[in-house]
Amino acid sequence: MYVEAILHAPSRNFFLRAPQVTRIFPIRLEVLIYTEMGCKWNGMLGTWGVAMPLDFTMPTQFRGILSTITLLDVLDILIVAVILYRVYVMLKDTRAITLGKGILVLLGVTVVANYLNLHVISWLLQKAVTLLFVALPIVFQPELRRALEHLGQGKFFRPGTLLDDEEAQSTIREIRSAVKILSANKIGALLVIERDMGLNDISATGIQIDGLITSDFLMNVFIPNTPLHDGAAVIRGKRLIAAGCLLPLTENRSLSTELGTRHRAAIGLSEQCDALIVVVSEETGTISIAENGHLHRHLDGEQLTHILTPAFAYSSRSSILDTIRSWREKS
């Protein structure tokens, strides 16, 4: 057993070396200490032939990294953060979150299997992860489509149908009046209110109308035993552009069996776009609203007005869900 130390002290530097302590313990220790215009300590500790680097230069390195950050780097980080946040907001209330958690669990098990040298399990998981990334575009097809559609949601891409406050309030009053009368008489209705995403593909499945919205006009559309009664009416701004339209049904199997075809169609469309869908039940007269895959039931006239207002107001970009939450907190 011996310790060998070499000391160099030119200027403000010194070097200490204790390379071997191997006569009794199979341990190799190597330490390097030096100072030059400050303190810096690098070291490497190896035990039983396994080298583990020890770095004590974090404060110095951190200051060095900060000194290289520019305004463009900060902007780059902010843009990425905003994108990730928007992706999270878009997916947080969808089945994609559940699938994402499953993927994270699978990746975590793969890392643990590799660390524990479980070769067979590790091989199987690696193959599964590879196949998973191939299947992601198929599994998340609705979410990916919705994300791509959101890319076109800028003010330069909006249709020129935005209303001023007076027109918006007038349109909301007409819709509210019609919905209340339809509800009182238990006449089924399905109103699709277009927001940022265009609904030309939906309106093309029905009869083109393009008429100014009034309560009498809306009630006549949904009179029972008429050709347009069972379809959906599409509203763009202050005009009814189509009626008798077909909507996609939701694939969500966890919904209550009490919900009929109208409610399932409303939820199905809200899962694919940002439209606001008003539903009047033909059996109970209940007023409901679907948005982002969620159905909010048993609404009255006041609630309906509060929820419809952001859909017609250009200055309000808040979610309908936020409006509903704030109303419930007040009540």
pLDDT digits (tens, 9 = 90+) for 142-179: 667 766 666 665 544 444 455 677 888 899 999 999 99
Q: Which residue has the higher pLDDT, 101 or 114?
A: 114
Which residues lie closer than 8 Å to 232 by C-beta, 6 or more apart?
A: 190, 191, 192, 202, 206, 243, 244, 245, 246, 247, 265, 269, 277
User: What's the confidence (pLDDT) of residue 190?
Assistant: 94
Which residues lie closer than 8 Å to 286 by C-beta, 6 or more apart?
A: 183, 280, 297, 298
Beta pairing, strands 232-236 & 294-296: unpaired
> Domains in the chain, ordered, with CATH?
1-68 (no CATH), 70-151 (no CATH), 165-330 (3.40.1700.10)
The whole-chain average pLDDT of the chain stands at 74
Q: What is the DSSP letter of 248?
A: P
Which residues lie closer than 8 Å to 261 by C-beta, 6 or more apart?
A: 249
Alpha carbons 108 and 210: distance in angstroms, whole number: 55
Alpha carbons 157 and 195: distance in angstroms, whole number: 12
Rg value, the chain, Cα: 32
Q: What is the DSSP letter of 32?
A: E
Q: How do residues 57-76 score in pLDDT, each as one tens digit?
A: 555 666 666 677 788 888 98
